[in-house]
């Protein structure tokens, strides 16, 4: 499968987000990237949109997933860090690949443990479809409906270069 590059997809996100966030971003705005790929996408968006002054945080949903009992603890759990007041904030939640929606549901649950946001909007690099929960994407780099693909992963090398890797079902 030929996918656009992460850089092209981030460009598409920037085009969608610039009118909404731009230099005059809402005063209540905060960004939250989901470990690990969502954090990388968030970092790129902060740079390209000039959002360095906007509060940002990172979350790992490992303990909030509904399949935690079946899968156990993932080997590379990262700490969540929300260094701002969530209560009343307009949150832009950022992830790399959205499929069933279960990780996003877990992220929303985690955010509500910090407070009640005014709103949560979702930006993803790749929307794979296949939703199992009633979630919608507000901003996306690309929407795919590829049943032959079992996984799409965002990878980052030691230089910081991002790549997408699609694994087809056997």
116-156 pLDDT, tens digit per residue, is 999 999 999 999 988 889 999 999 999 987 666 678 899 99
pTM: 0.90
Q: Are 96 and 125 in contact (CB under 8 A)?
A: yes
pLDDT band at residue 168 under the 50/70/90 scheme: confident
Instruction: Identify whether 1 is part of a domain.
Output: no
Instruction: Identify whether 151 is part of a domain.
Output: yes
CA atoms within 13 A on the CB side of 65: 19
Instruction: Identify whether 131 is part of a domain.
Output: yes
What is the tally of structural domains in the chain? 1
45: domain CATH number is 3.40.50.2020
The beta strands (E) that lie in the chain are given as: 29-34, 56-59, 90-98, 119-127, 139-143, 149-156, 162-168
Give the domain range for residue 164: 6-20+28-68+78-168
Of 114, 107, 95, the residue nearest 60 (C-alpha): 107
Instruction: Identify whether 124 is part of a domain.
Output: yes
pLDDT band at residue 74 under the 50/70/90 scheme: low
Q: What is the distance, to the nearest Å, from the Cα of residue 26 to the centroid of all Cα atoms in its chain? A: 19
């Amino acid at each position: 499968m030929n996918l656009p590059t992460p850089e092209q997809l981030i460009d598409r996100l920037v085009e969608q987000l610039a009118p909404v966030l731009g230099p005059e971003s809402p005063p209540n705005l905060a960004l939250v990237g989901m470990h690990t790929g969502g954090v990388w996408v968030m970092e790129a968006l902060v740079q390209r949109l000039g959002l360095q002054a906007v509060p940002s945080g990172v979350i790992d949903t490992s303990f909030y997933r509904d399949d935690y009992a079946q899968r156990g603890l993932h080997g590379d759990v990262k700490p969540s860090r929300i260094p701002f007041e969530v209560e009343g904030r307009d949150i832009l939640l950022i992830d790399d690949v959205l499929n069933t929606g279960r990780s996003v549901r877990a992220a929303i649950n985690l955010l509500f443990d910090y407070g009640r946001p005014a709103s949560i909007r979702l930006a993803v690099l790749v929307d794979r479809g296949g939703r199992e929960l009633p979630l919608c994407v507000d901003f996306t780099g690309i929407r795919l409906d590829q049943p032959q693909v079992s996984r799409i992963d965002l990878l980052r090398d030691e230089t910081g270069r991002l790549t997408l890797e699609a694994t087809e079902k056997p």
